[in-house]
Amino acid sequence: MSANLSTTFDDKNSETSTLTSPTLVLNCGSSSIKYALISDDNSTRITGLAENLGLDTARIKHTTLNGDKLEISIPGGSHKLALQKILELLEQYHFIAVGHRVVHGGREYSQAVRVDQHALEEVKRLKILAPLHNPANALGIEAVQAIYPDIPQVVVFDTAFHQTMPPVAFRYALPKYLYEEHKIRRYGFHGTSHAYVSERSSKITEAKGPHGWITAHLGNGCSATAVYDGKSLDTSMGLTPLEGLMMGTRSGDVDPSLHMHLKRQLGISLEETDKMLNSESGLLGISGLSNDLRTIEQAASEGHKDAQLAIEMFCYRAGKYLASLSCALPEFTGIVFTGGIGENSVTTRASILAVMRHFGIKMDAEKNAGLYGGQEGSFQAEGSSVELWVIPTDEEYRIAQETRQALKLV
C-alpha cells in the first residue's frame, strides 16, 4: 500500500469538505462500481471505484474532497456489500438524490426517468440486450432502495440520447415484424458521453450554429456519433455494444454469417463465438498481447508486427467510420475526440485523421501533441475544413445533471 493510502477515514471536520445538495452518481458494471458525489454547482466532488468484485482482490479505492486516498479490502465482496460500504462512506454528506447509469433502456425511454416499480422492471427485463450490465444496474437501484427508501433515484440510459435517430439510421434491413414485435433495431450506447462532449463543443466553439459534430468516444469500448443541433442522428453501436468500431476486446463489425461458419466448419457454438467477439477480439485478439493500447503501442515501437497491425486496424476502421458518419450531418463543424484513448493518444488521433485524407482536414501537430492527461482544446491548423477538438468526457456530471432535471431540482 502506498504512503498516501490510509485504511481509516474521517472527513467530517475538514474545512474543505462541504458539498452543497450533492447528487450521488452510481455506475454499476459487471465487476465494478464507479461512483461520484457531486455538488449541485459541479464545483466539488468525491470519487471512487469498487473493483474486482467477486474476487479475493475486491477492494474500494476512495478519494476524498481533499485528495486523500482510502483503500478498503473486501475479499470476495459482492456488488451488494460494496454498495453498502460506499453508502457508509458517503452518508455524512446527506446526498439528496441518486442517479444511475443504465446501459440499455430499449425504445421506451428517450430521457432520464425517476425510478418506480415499472422502470426497475424494465431495467431487469432489458438484460436480454445487455446481460453484463443491466442486472448490475438493477442491483445498484435495489441496494439504495433498501438502505435509503426515501431518497429519490433516477435512471439515466446510455441509449436515450440516440432515440432521436431517424428510422433510416436505426432500422436494420430485416423483416418488419422483428422490429415491430421484438424491437430489433439499432439503439446506440455511450449516450451520456456523446451528449456531454457535443454540448461542450458547441459551448466553446466560435463557429456559428447549429453545429454538426462527429464525436469519437475511444476507450476500451469505442463508439462514434453524428450529432447535429444537440441531437444524435446516427451512431456506430447497434442493438448491442458489439457493433461498430474495433475496441479493446470487442471485434466491432464482422460478417453476420461468421457465427454459422464457425459452427459448421469448426464446431464452435454460438455462445462461444459470442464470448470470443465480446471478450477475446479487438486490440487483444489482433495483438495477442493486451486490450490496453498503451501496452500495444510500446510493443509496436519495439517492432512487434501484430501490435503494429492492431494499431493500424484500429485507426483505419475508426477513420472509415467517422468518414461515413459525416453523411448524416447537414453541416459538418468538427470532430471531437474523447475517452481514454481519444483524450490521451496523440498518435492515434493523428493516424485516424490521416485515414480521412480526402476531407481537407488540417491538423496542427504541435497543438495535438499538447493535448493529453485531461487537457481540453482544439488542434486544427489554419485552413482546415473542420474543427478538431479533444474534450475529456464527464459522464458523471452529465448523469448528475440529468438526475436533477428529472426530479425538477434545477
Query: DSSP secondary structure string, 94-107?
Result: ---EEEEEES--TT
| pLDDT the model gives residue 47 | 94
Domain span holding position 117: 5-164
Provide the domain count of the chain: 2
Q: What is the per-residue pLDDT for 363?
A: 98
| Statement to judge: residues 296 and 361 lie in one domain | yes
pLDDT of residue 2: 35
177's grid cell = 415484424
Please identify which of the residues 11, 158, 234, 394 carries the catalytic annotation.
158
Joined together, the cell numbers standing for residue 80 give 451488494
Dig out the grid coordinates for 232 from the structure: 444524435
The last residue of a domain, from among 164, 181, 215: 164
Q: What is the mean pLDDT of each run of 10 residues along the chain (410 residues)?
A: 37 56 91 92 91 89 90 90 92 94 90 95 89 87 92 96 97 97 94 97 96 96 97 97 95 97 97 95 97 96 98 98 98 97 97 98 98 97 98 95 93
Considering the domain architecture, whether residues 157 and 11 belong to the same structural domain is answered as: yes
Domain for residue 171, yes or no? Answer: no
Q: Are residues 129 and 228 in the same domain?
A: no
Cβ atoms < 10 Å from Cβ of 37: 23
Residue 215 sits in the same domain as residue 155: no
How far apart, in whole angstroms, are the C-alpha atoms of residue 186 and residue 172?
A: 7
- DSSP helix/strand/coil, 295: helix
CATH code for the domain in which residue 326 is found: 3.30.420.40
Assess whether 159 and 210 both reside in one domain.
no
Active site residue 158: yes
The DSSP secondary structure of 116-133, one letter per residue, reads -HHHHHHHHHGGGT-TTT
Reference 198, options 235, 169, 172; nearest CA is 235
Residues 211 and 63 in one domain: no
* 264/383 same-domain check: yes
| Residues 342 and 218 occupy one common structural domain | yes
The per-residue pLDDT for 15 is 39
> Is residue 234 in some structural domain?
yes
Angle, helix 134-147 to helix 117-125, in steps of 10 degrees: 150
Task: Determine the pLDDT at residue 191.
Answer: 95
Q: Which amino acid is at 211?
A: H
